[in-house]
Chain A
C-alpha cells in the first residue's frame, strides 16, 4: 500500500478519485497521478493491511451517516435504506479478521426507477477504507446507495456470502492492482528532476509574495479592508500558478479575516507569518531537518509518512474546515502509550465527504505512520477499535506548555489538541472553559456561545477535548454523563 496516497474510487473510474491525505495542489490536480515524491519512501506494508485478528465492531448508524457529504444526501440515503429496495444485499467476511465487524466488502443491487438495478459496493477492510463504488450517475460521493448499503449492514440487514459476484471481484482486483502500482513508483531520476523544478517555481512564487507583502506594509494596512476579494485573489492565483497551493489558500483566506472586528491585528499577524515562511523557504537548505520538513509542508510540498508507531490512539475530536476550493477534515489522535499527538487530515471537493478513517470517541489500536511535519499521520493498519471512554486529561498549564512547545517546532501552527478533565463552562463577558483549579481558556468566537457543549454537560464538570488556537479554544468532543462521547461540531 503506497504511502499517503489514497484512492477511494478505484482506477476504473478516472476523475472520480477522492483526493485524500495528499492535498490537491491547485485546481485540476485533484485525482491525477500523485507527485512522485509522495511515493518514494513508502513504508513496508502489505495489502490488504490488517494482519492481526481484528475485533473491530460493526459501525453504528451514526457512524454511517457521518460519512454523508451533506444533509440532503443523508435524507436521500435514509429513504433508500430499506431492505425492500435491495433484493441483493451481501457482505463477505474478511479472511482472518480485519475490517469493521470482520467485514471485507459489501455489495448490493438497489431497485431504482430504471430497468437496471444500481450496483453498489463498499470495500471496508483496506487501509484506505471505506472505498465506494456505484453504478448510479450521482455526483455525490459517497452516493445514497453506498450509504444505504452501509446502513443496512450496520443494522444487520445484509446476508453473509462466501463468494462475491464478478463485478465486485473485478473491482477489488483493480483496487489491489492500483495499490501495488503505487508501491512501485516510476523512474526515480525523472521524479527528482520534476521535484526540483517544482521547488524552483515555488521559490519564484514566494519571492513575488514577499514583494507584495512589502508593498502592503509600506503603504499601510489601513486601506486593506476596502480591497474586496480581488486583490488577495490575484495574489493567490499567482501562487497557485507557482504550485504553492497551501500558501495560496492562506492568502485567499485573508479576505475573510478583514470581516472580523480585530482585523488589523489578524492581518498583520498573517502577513508576518507569511513573510516568515518566505524567508524560511529561501533558507530551507540550512535549516535543521524537522524545521525544513515543516517549511516544505507549509508551502504545500507533499511528504510521505516516515515513521510508523503502534499504539492505542484516543480519537479526541474532529473539525471540518474550508480549505481553498475543497473541504478539509481533521481528526486529533493521542497515543495512550507513547503520548504522541497525531493529526489525520483529509480533503474532498464540494459535495463529497472527506474521508473519516476513525470515529470520534473511540480508541483505536493501530499503526499510524507519521509524516515528517505537522504531526500529520495516516492510519496504516488498524487492529481493533474500542469504546474509548474519556481520554487522559491535562491541566490548562500543561496544555499551554505543550502548545508553546509545538509552536517552537512549527510557528505557523493554527491548532493544537487539548484535553481538559473536570472542565466547566465559564461566563465572564465571553465564554470560557475552566478546570477545577480555576484556570480557564477563552473559547473561540466560532464556538461561542457553546450551546451544544452546555446542553451536553449541563454545567457539570466533564472531560472536554478541543483545539487550542491563537483565537481561543474550540471544543470538539465532550464526555458527559455516563462517559458518552458527544461530538460538538
Chain B
C-alpha cells in the first residue's frame, strides 16, 4: 500500500531540520537501519522518492484541436535549408527576400520553422506581413495558441464586416479592420471612415484620415479643401501665401482629427503640425486653379517662393493619397533639394519615388547617373531607390564596381555595393572576380552576396 502523505511529511521535517522535529516513519517502507536521525530521514526520503518515481501513473489531458489541412505546397529541401540558416542569423533583408520569393510562388515554409519566424515577425511588422503569406494554415493555427503571436491575424486582410461588428472590437482590432480595407477601398466605405474620424483612439482616427484621403470626392475632402483654401491662397504677384491655423478653430480640429493640447496657447510648432496634417489629407486637386494653372505650375510657384514646408506637405499628401501624377511633378523638386545637400531627415523624397513602378524608379536613377563614371554619382542616383534594380541599372552598377575592385574602396563604393547587395539582379554575380585576393573588398562581398541570392532564387524558382 502506498502512503501518499509520506513525501510531504518527510519534506516538512527536512525543511525544519531533524534537530527540531522527529523523523516520520511512513507506513509501507522497508525498515531503515537506525542511527543518526538526519541520515534516517534521507534514507526514507530516498525510498519514497524512487518509489514515487517508479510508480508514476499516466494522466489525462484534452488534445488541442488539430490544425486545418494545408493547400499550399511546401518549399523544397534546399530552400528549407537556406531558410534555416536565415532564421538563425539576425533577421536581415535576405530573409525578407526569401519570404517574398516563396510567397510569389505560393509556397509555404516547413512548419517546424514557424516558432522562430513568428517570433521574428512579432519584432518586425514588415516581416510579419510577409510571414502571413507563407506560414500556411499551420501558422495561423499556431498563432492562435500563443498570445505573443496573435498579431498575425491582425495582419491578414479581414473579410467583410459590418459597422456594428466594427464598433464592438477593441481599438487595436478596429484599426486593423480599417487597415484591411486598404486594398479594396471604395466609396461605400465613406460613412464608416467618417464615423471613425471621431473615434476615441488617435490611431484609429489616423487610419481613417489616411483612407478617406484616398477616396475621391468625399464630403470630408470637400470640408478639408474649404479649410485649406482659407489658409493657403494666392497673394500678390501670384505668389502663394500661408496662414498658420488658429488653435481655437474647433471645426478645423475636428475635421483633421486632432485636439489642441491644453495650455498650448498659440504654439507655433503645433500650428505648423496642424497645417501639415491639413495639407496631407486635403485632395491634391484643390490646388490646381487655386495656386497655379496645373500641377507643375503649382509646384513651381510654391517652391519659387521658398515655402519648403508646404512643398514637403504636398509631397506627403502625394504619398498619403498615393497620387502618382503629383509624385512625378514633385520628385524633381524634392529630390533635387536632397541632392543639394539638404537635410535628409523627414524628407518625403524616397517615399515619393517609391510610389513609382520599379522600372520607372530605375529609369529615373539611370537618367540622373547618365554620363557620370564615379561611384559617388551613381550612389547619389540609386541611394533612394527601394526596389529591385532593372537589368539595365544593374549592368551599369556592376561594370562600375567590377572596374574598381583593384582600387582601395572609398565610402561611396562601399555604400554603392551595400545597395547593390540588396537590389542588383543576382545573376550578375558572374561579373565579379571572386578569387580570394580581394576577400575584404566590398566588391568581393557583393559577389558573395549575389551568389547567395542567386542560389536562393534558383531554389525558389
* Bound CA–CA A216/B36 (angstroms): 13
* Bound CA–CA A455/B112 (angstroms): 5
Q: Are A221 and B15 in contact (CB under 8 A)?
A: yes
Contacts of B440 in A (CB 8 A): 113
B436 within 8 A of A: yes
* Bound CA–CA A29/B328 (angstroms): 74
B19 within 8 A of A: yes
Q: Are B61 and A62 in contact (CB under 8 A)?
A: no
Interface string of B59-78 (1 = CB under 8 A from A): 11111111100000000000
* Bound CA–CA A166/B88 (angstroms): 39
Q: Are B49 and A432 in contact (CB under 8 A)?
A: no
Q: Are B436 and A85 in contact (CB under 8 A)?
A: yes
With A111-B436, A214-B38, A432-B59 in contact, is A455–B43 under 8 Å at CB?
no
Chain B residue, CB-CB nearest to A110: B436
With A217-B42, A458-B138 in contact, is A407–B62 under 8 Å at CB?
no
Chain B residue, CB-CB nearest to A438: B60
A152 within 8 A of B: no
* Bound CA–CA A264/B16 (angstroms): 11
Contacts of B10 in A (CB 8 A): 268
Q: Are B145 and A265 in contact (CB under 8 A)?
A: no
Number of interface residues of B (CB under 8 A): 58
Contacts of A427 in B (CB 8 A): 61-62, 64
Contacts of B67 in A (CB 8 A): 458-460
Chain B residue, CB-CB nearest to A470: B53
Q: Is the interface of B mostly helix, strand, loop or mixed?
A: helix
* Bound CA–CA A268/B49 (angstroms): 9
Q: Is the interface of A mostly helix, strand, loop or mixed?
A: helix
Q: Are A272 and B64 in contact (CB under 8 A)?
A: no
Interface string of B77-106 (1 = CB under 8 A from A): 000010011001100000000000000000
* Bound CA–CA A397/B114 (angstroms): 32
Chain A residue, CB-CB nearest to B59: A440
With A85-B436, A455-B142 in contact, is A403–B56 under 8 Å at CB?
yes
* Bound CA–CA A236/B160 (angstroms): 66
B154 within 8 A of A: no
B27 within 8 A of A: no
Q: Are B88 and A424 in contact (CB under 8 A)?
A: no
Chain A residue, CB-CB nearest to B65: A459
Q: Are A217 and B53 in contact (CB under 8 A)?
A: no
Q: Are B112 and A456 in contact (CB under 8 A)?
A: yes
* Bound CA–CA A424/B61 (angstroms): 10
Contacts of B18 in A (CB 8 A): 217-218
Q: Are B61 and A426 in contact (CB under 8 A)?
A: yes
* Bound CA–CA A449/B64 (angstroms): 12
Minimum distance in angstroms from A260 CB to a CB of chain B: 14
Contacts of B41 in A (CB 8 A): 217
B16, B64, B89, B114: most-surrounded residue (chain A CB, <10 A): B64
Number of interface residues of A (CB under 8 A): 68
Q: Are A62 and B81 in contact (CB under 8 A)?
A: yes
| Cβ 8 A contact of A268, one of B11, B36, B62, B145 | B11
* Bound CA–CA A311/B436 (angstroms): 48
Contacts of B63 in A (CB 8 A): 424-426, 434, 459
Chain B residue, CB-CB nearest to A406: B54
Q: Are A220 and B20 in contact (CB under 8 A)?
A: yes
Chain A residue, CB-CB nearest to B38: A217
| Cβ 8 A contact of A459, one of B42, B43, B66, B451 | B66
With A275-B43, A426-B64, A441-B58 in contact, is A449–B146 under 8 Å at CB?
yes
B168 within 8 A of A: no
Chain A residue, CB-CB nearest to B439: A113
Chain B residue, CB-CB nearest to A453: B112
Q: Are A219 and B89 in contact (CB under 8 A)?
A: no
* Bound CA–CA A79/B444 (angstroms): 12
User: Which listed segment binds B: A49-57, A70-78, A320-328?
Assistant: A70-78
* Bound CA–CA A432/B320 (angstroms): 50
With A400-B57, A403-B56 in contact, is A222–B142 under 8 Å at CB?
no
A439 within 8 A of B: yes
Minimum distance in angstroms from A319 CB to a CB of chain B: 17
A428 within 8 A of B: yes
Q: Are A275 and B39 in contact (CB under 8 A)?
A: yes
* Bound CA–CA A218/B146 (angstroms): 46
Minimum distance in angstroms from B200 CB to a CB of chain A: 35
A486 within 8 A of B: yes
Contacts of B64 in A (CB 8 A): 424-427, 454, 459
Contacts of A271 in B (CB 8 A): 14, 42, 45
With A432-B59, A440-B61 in contact, is A455–B138 under 8 Å at CB?
yes
Q: Are B11 and A265 in contact (CB under 8 A)?
A: yes
Q: Are A79 and B16 in contact (CB under 8 A)?
A: no
Contacts of A62 in B (CB 8 A): 81, 84
* Bound CA–CA A41/B36 (angstroms): 41
Interface string of A214-244 (1 = CB under 8 A from B): 1111111110000000000000000000000
| Cβ 8 A contact of B434, one of A74, A84, A454, A455 | A84
* Bound CA–CA A61/B81 (angstroms): 8
Contacts of A439 in B (CB 8 A): 58-60
Contacts of B7 in A (CB 8 A): 265
Q: Are A221 and B58 in contact (CB under 8 A)?
A: no
Minimum distance in angstroms from B429 CB to a CB of chain A: 11
A269 within 8 A of B: yes
* Bound CA–CA A210/B42 (angstroms): 10
Which 8 A-B pairs have CB atoms at the shortest separation, nearest pair first? A220-B17, A426-B61, A458-B67, A272-B45, A459-B66, A111-B436, A432-B61, A428-B61
Between A and B, 24 residue pairs with Cβ closer than 8 Å are A84-B435, A113-B439, A218-B18, A218-B38, A219-B17, A220-B19, A220-B20, A268-B45, A268-B49, A273-B49, A273-B50, A276-B46, A403-B53, A403-B54, A404-B54, A408-B54, A440-B58, A449-B145, A451-B115, A454-B142, A455-B113, A456-B111, A456-B112, A458-B67
